[in-house]
Structure 1
Amino acid sequence: MEKSKKKKTHVPLRMNMLFFVVFVMFSMLILRLGYVQIVSGEDAKREIDRTEDVTVKTSVPRGLIYDRNFNPVVDNEPQKAITYTAPKQFDSEKTLETARTLAKIIHQDTDKITHRDMVDFWLLLNPEEANAKVSKEEIKKYKGKESELYKLQRERVTDEELGTLTDEDLEVLAIYREFTGGYALDPQFVKNKDVSLKEYAEVNEHLGILPGVDTTTDWERVYLYGDTLRSILGNVTPGLPVEKLDYYESRGYSRNDRVGKSYIELQYEDVLRGQKEKVKNVTKSGEVLETVPIHEGERGKDLVLTIDMDLQKAIDKILEEEILKTKGKSSTQLLDRAFVTMMDPYTGEILALSGKQYSYDEEEGKYTFKDFASGNFTTAYEPGSAVKGASVLTGYMSGVIGQGSQLKDEVIKLADTPAKKSWDYYKGARWLTDEQALIQSSNAYMFKLAMLMGGMTYTHPEQKLSINKYEVINDQRNYFSQFGLGVRTGLDLPGEQTGFKGDISAPDAAGKTLDFMIGQFDTFTPLQLAQYVSTIVNGGYRMQAHIVKEIRDPIDENGNFGPIVQEIKPKVLNRINASDSEIARVRRAFWGVFHSPSGTGTAFNAPDFRPYNAAGKTGTAEAFDQGKGVWNVSLVAYAPYENPEIAFSILVPSAYLKGGTQNNINIDIGTRVLKAYFDLKEKRAKQDTSEEENNEEENVEE
């Protein structure tokens, strides 16, 4: 009886303790709720309602590009675009839902989707199946290494499982892929090509259920002259290149910004890119509520090129026609390209930079012409006798000959060396002056110049070539570099090559120092040849070559060109170490090449060309192409002789096979190029006169 009584009194005590603990806990909860609602209620409400302002920059259209006559060459074509601005706090489910909603409104191409994208998307859509692809042991093993665990899941997704993704799924994936391709609060283009008016309007109508999505205007680069000068204008990337991501992001670029990829677009990126528009993203709980403009952006500055696009087009056409015409002749199997560089000899401004390559197009299934203007400074060839003006001036500058010096043109027979001779050796031995040697393109004269530079005088057959080949070739290259041959011209474009220097190290290579003087050892670019002849034309000043003439502010609302921000002024790189009279003598010899009966360029003295009064030098060089002996042909020229306006070079590699039928494609191109320039000049003069007369008549009527 006593035991049972004790038991009854013990149980209520334990219950009372439990009730007391529960009472204390509820009291603490009530006190905490009271504190949050009464004391901190306003702070919590403000935290919930708090918005955040984040400033971001949006891209603006690039600057335009014009030719020297202000004809637009590269423009921007506006395009309707749809963008997405990711919130600060990424939520895959919300993002996926937005992508699904948008996919019902727009059509999205799926071409960019990769296998990796499909695997990731399948795992996102099938979380239970994804979890089942790893065992509990693997989950335990890779705890804290989620990336390794996810890698296993990816590897175990089968092609059969990926095949369950429908076309609708892939379209959602294509949109989701763009949504997640950038940074938070940084607008990304979801679709900026072929956005229909219906898509644009419907997205605008549904912006309320498409968080982060917006509509805007994008732009695309348009090249108004088609393929003309296309290889020089360059390209623009669709977004930041991966290999330079850090470089551009450190300079304020966004991942979807376009940047110049090559040549003019790349070289003048800082000028063309413009000043970005600044906008403020008002966010709440990480999501963008609205976008407020802060600072209006400014389109990139405009470039005015030195190029005359009408002249460029005319020369491009000439090259295509002459290549095709010459290809119809024998021995031209390896002829596939030709180059013309035309410049103002006094300023270094490049008026035309034409290159055409004739090759088989796999897509079109036929031979077509491609623009290869860049080949004027990225490829180099042995030009032959066109460089003999520099050879004679090298003789003057080195002191081995003077004006009027005579050397005997004869077959030179050195010991252990094949006979070296001029192209017209059959005329027999004769004494020539320096001027006559240029007019008749004497090889023997130039060979003996090289010997004299090495301290040797040729006196009899089987004489040993006793010169220090290293000293001679170094001197020759140093003198030639004063004209721009074998060195960079200063061109304001990336990728310029200096040419290939022949190997002089072989024991029997001393004879190459002789070949150097006739343009058959080192290789030079067409641009270098144009700079070389310009240096002789303008009195000995090597002018820096450049393709941009001016940088201007953008056109105003009334269509007026903006003021000049920077004018690219002529720059003298160096003056050759020759006297005015020595330079004038070479110029006079160049005139004789075209006008003397014994000159090699008498085609330029035909009745139709006499008014141009041109001067210059032709060239032919033996070379090798695809294991076969070929002849390169070249030409440097300027006109008019008295007051030169233009200087140009022509280079046609592999014009015909060695031992085959000769052709004069260099002269054929040269005569037509010369005529094209002066015909265009005359046409414009008539147009200007006609406009002036019309203006005068209008003023009289008023």
Structure 2
Amino acid sequence: MKRILEIIRKRTGSQAKSTIPFRLNLLFFIVFALFALLVGQLAYLQIVYGGKFQAEVDRTDKTVMQGNVPRGMIYDSKGRLLVGNSTESAITYTKSASVKSEDIYQIVDRLTKYVTVKKGKLSERDKADYILAQKGRSAAIAKSMPKSYRQDSDGNAYSANKLYANEVKYVQEQGIHLSQSQLEKATIFKTMSSAYALSTVFVKDQGLTSKEIAEVSEHLTELPGVSVGTNWNREYPQGKSIASIIGGVSTEQQGIPDDELNIMLASGYSRNDRVGTSYLEKSYESILAGTKSQRQVEIGSNNQINSSKEIYAGQKGGNLNLTIDSEFQKKVQDTLNSEFAAAKGAGITQYSDGAYAVAMNPQTGAILAMAGVRNNTKTGKTTEDALGVINRTFVMGSAVKGATVLGALMDGVITPENNTLPDNPIYLPGTPVKKSVYPIGTYSSLTAQKALEVSSNEYMMALALKEAKATYVPSRQIKMDPNIFQTMRGYFNQFGLGVKTGIDISGETKGIEGATKNSAGQLKTGSALDLSYGNYDAYTLIEMAQYISTIANGGYRLKPYIVQSIQKTRNDGKKGAVESVTKPSVLNRVGFTNDELQVVKTGMYNVVHGTDGWTTGTRLKDISPSVSAKTGTAQSFYYNPDDPNNPDPPSTITTSLVSFGPSDNPNIAMAIVFPNLSSENGNYPQLVAHQMYEDYYKLTGQK
């Protein structure tokens, strides 16, 4: 047995000695084979795909960046420049795709060696962002923060965004104290950081000195993204008397208004683009803005801009030629200022909103002048407010009686041949007598023409009673057709009273209609009578101008407009070819006959040229060529917003005027209002109209 074990042991040891070297050799062979394959694969990749991989390393992306172009100009009807652009040198910054805050911090630090920027409006967050952008500062502050600022209650580390928010919070809690120099740097940092990727912002575009431009230009290589360019600002060579009509343009910081953001972004705008924010600048934004320039930019694999090349210079904004003669506009504004100052000197403007005037061509709808004076009833300070012509409403009084008479003629309750009515006051239960300004009994009866001349309220109320199919018994409640308000307003609307005129300036409002029923649900019959002579509903002055123009031109309600034509801008900045011309636009034709129209035109002529002692517009009778008009007076009460529940508010008087001339072939129509005066003495609308006619006839050579 011992012998057998010895034999087995000898055989086993021999096999072990022979097996171990074989296994090692096999392992070495496998490793060598794999290594050989790896070397072969590397060689294959290097030889076959080496160029491709190198190209990938050197790969650049091409993208197109857009740049703004100068905004279009605005000229008056005689070619005078009203709104232009002043060009300023500027330092710009184009943000790379992946630039970090600490990179911007370093650029700002270098840039401020050559450029001085005034401290802007900075929030505590802005200051904290600037502090944390310094290299290593964020990490240092994170390390010094309490544990609760770095991780949640379960010990989990906060996300990068949450951690940064807590860093900002911690910096603010510790107190931020920056020097004046640091505040200036923080201002630039905010501007540059707020830019979108591959967008350009203006670091400094006002007051840039030649030394600053030279030094920045010399050091552009150490200021990635920074460049020297130009920017523009709106300027008004003829003064700002018409600026409120033209409107404003946003700054780069304001960018696109929030209420139009999505629409304008979809149209190719950028968030920080300068756009028209009101009135003409807004209404004609697509024309004035022009077409942006395009620059092709190559971005390397490191997300930095390698090169850029202009591929389209852009097209400067188109020019607007207005219907307004700036010389006439200035004269109208000066006249309005002068007459309101006279009313103020007479001590009757303490409750007045101001004064407004508008003139238009009744044959085309072209606006010839718009002027306004806004009066602050608390301070007595006045400011120019031409836009009040389209966005403020007033109860105009008897100036609307032309529409009342023509409405009654169209309704058939009177005719051109049969329009004589008794001139009697109206007595209603519980209300003061409704009458004209002249004593009761001055006239036993009146024709429509005479009623317009002496501005009879009784006559207009008689027309309303006929249209309402009412029977009047003194001191008793009148039963009327419940549709009387709709009937009268329907005729008024045909002339443009109580509806938007469609003028090509954004911001127009429309007239305000009074209630038709009282709190008990009963028809306000007394108010229906007030409506007939203009003492109930309120209208804008542009509506009044459209109404009188409709009478002047024979019944065509024309859309008012202020832009006569649009012209391209040539490369040298001068006006180019005319792209479009505004043509008269008829909104509707009022359905009166020529005989019916002549009744009202005769009455309005007599308002100026009549010889009755109660003729209302005789201050205009010496104007040549002759003019026609209708005066207005409305009684109301001053509403004090600081004392809205005053049971006894002061009574006020609004005086107004509508007019056209020459009477036989009108080429100018005007509307004027002096609201809420404490006395009607002075006839201020007639004085303004007289001067407007003199100035217009002189400028246009009419004799």
Structure 1 and Structure 2 fold alike (TM over 0.5): yes
- Aligned residue for 2:187, secondary structure, equals helix
Q: Does 1:183 align with 2:200?
A: no
Are the aligned partners of 1:142 and 1:148 in contact in 2 as well (CA < 8 Å)? Answer: no
Cα offset, 1:39, TM superposition? 5.8
Q: Separation in 2 of the partners of 1:301 and 1:580?
A: 43
Question: Please, which of 428, 443, 459 is the counterpart of residue 457 of structure 2?
Answer: 443
Q: Which residue of 2 aligns with 1:669?
A: 688
Q: Trace 1:240-279 onto structure 2 (pairs within 5 A).
A: 240-279=256-295
Are the aligned partners of 2:653 and 2:680 in contact in 1 as well (CA < 8 Å)? Answer: no
- Aligned residue for 1:154, secondary structure, equals helix
Q: Separation in 2 of the partners of 1:493 and 1:667?
A: 27
Q: Separation in 2 of the partners of 1:134 and 1:676?
A: 78
Cα offset, 1:169, TM superposition? 2.6
Q: Separation in 1 of the partners of 2:248 and 2:347?
A: 38
Q: Which residue of 2 aligns with 1:593?
A: 607
Percent of aligned pairs with the same amino acid = 35
Q: Trace 1:344-493 onto structure 2 (pairs within 5 A).
A: 344-359=361-376, 368-403=381-416, 404-458=418-472, 460-468=473-481, 470-493=482-505
Q: Does 1:550 align with 2:559?
A: no
**Structure 2, unaligned runs of 5 or more:** 1-16, 640-648
Q: Which amino acid aligns with 2:462?
A: K
Are the aligned partners of 2:300 and 2:306 in contact in 1 as well (CA < 8 Å)? Answer: yes
Q: Does 1:564 align with 2:549?
A: no
Q: Which amino acid aligns with 2:361?
A: D
Q: Separation in 1 of the partners of 2:61 and 2:55?
A: 12
Specify whether residues 100 and 61 from structure 1 end up closer, same or farther in structure 2 by C-alpha distance, changes over 3 A only: same
Q: Which residue of 1 aligns with 2:549?
A: 534
Q: Does 1:63 align with 2:79?
A: no
Question: Please, which of 308, 313, 320 is the counterpart of residue 337 of structure 2?
Answer: 320
- Aligned residue for 1:611, secondary structure, equals coil
Q: Which residue of 2 aligns with 1:86?
A: 95
Q: Trace 1:607-622 onto structure 2 (pairs within 5 A).
A: 609-622=622-635
Cα deviations by residue, 1:142-167 (Å, 9 ceiling, x for unpaired): 6463323322222222365411x333
Cα offset, 1:26, TM superposition? 9.4
Q: Separation in 2 of the partners of 1:522 and 1:629?
A: 17
Are the aligned partners of 2:295 and 2:311 in contact in 1 as well (CA < 8 Å)? Answer: yes
Specify whether residues 610 and 188 from structure 1 end up closer, same or farther in structure 2 by C-alpha distance, changes over 3 A only: closer
Q: Which amino acid aligns with 1:96?
A: Y
- Aligned residue for 2:277, secondary structure, equals coil
Q: Trace 1:296-307 onto structure 2 (pairs within 5 A).
A: 296-307=313-324
Cα offset, 1:38, TM superposition? 5.7
Cα deviations by residue, 1:328-377 (Å, 9 ceiling, x for unpaired): 1134311241110100001000000111113389xxxx854322111111
- Aligned residue for 2:329, secondary structure, equals helix
Q: Which residue of 2 aligns with 1:293?
A: 310
Cα offset, 1:84, TM superposition? 1.4
Q: Separation in 1 of the partners of 2:33 and 2:176?
A: 57
Cα offset, 1:428, TM superposition? 3.2
Are the aligned partners of 1:139 and 1:149 in contact in 2 as well (CA < 8 Å)? Answer: no
Q: Separation in 2 of the partners of 1:427 and 1:264?
A: 52
Greater Rg over alpha carbons, structure: 2
Specify whether residues 412 and 633 from structure 1 end up closer, same or farther in structure 2 by C-alpha distance, changes over 3 A only: same
- Aligned residue for 1:179, secondary structure, equals helix
Moved more, 400-409 or 441-450: 400-409
Specify whether residues 142 and 277 from structure 1 end up closer, same or farther in structure 2 by C-alpha distance, changes over 3 A only: farther
Q: TM-score, normalised by structure 1?
A: 0.88
- Aligned residue for 1:647, secondary structure, equals strand
Moved more, 243-252 or 482-491: 243-252
- Aligned residue for 1:437, secondary structure, equals helix
Q: Which residue of 2 aligns with 1:127?
A: 138
Q: Which amino acid aligns with 1:668?
A: L
Q: Separation in 1 of the partners of 2:345 and 2:523?
A: 40
Moved more, 21-30 or 203-212: 21-30
Are the aligned partners of 2:152 and 2:158 in contact in 1 as well (CA < 8 Å)? Answer: no
Q: Separation in 2 of the partners of 1:194 and 1:202?
A: 15
Q: Does 1:645 align with 2:651?
A: no
Cα deviations by residue, 1:53-94 (Å, 9 ceiling, x for unpaired): 211111111111111111111101111112111222223332
Q: Does 1:603 align with 2:619?
A: yes
Cα deviations by residue, 1:215-236 (Å, 9 ceiling, x for unpaired): 1121111122332121110111
Q: Separation in 2 of the partners of 1:190 and 1:33?
A: 50
Moved more, 239-248 or 113-122: 239-248
Aligned length: 657
Cα offset, 1:661, TM superposition? 6.6
Specify whether residues 668 and 106 from structure 1 end up closer, same or farther in structure 2 by C-alpha distance, changes over 3 A only: same
Q: Separation in 2 of the partners of 1:462 and 1:411?
A: 11
Cα offset, 1:551, TM superposition? 1.0
Q: Separation in 2 of the partners of 1:234 and 1:600?
A: 38
Q: Trace 1:649-660 onto structure 2 (pairs within 5 A).
A: 649-656=671-678, 660=679
Q: Which amino acid aligns with 1:534?
A: S
- Aligned residue for 1:425, secondary structure, equals coil
Are the aligned partners of 1:134 and 1:153 in contact in 2 as well (CA < 8 Å)? Answer: no
Q: Separation in 2 of the partners of 1:375 and 1:436?
A: 33
Moved more, 550-559 or 221-230: 550-559
Q: Which residue of 1 aligns with 2:107?
A: 98
Are the aligned partners of 1:230 and 1:371 in contact in 2 as well (CA < 8 Å)? Answer: no
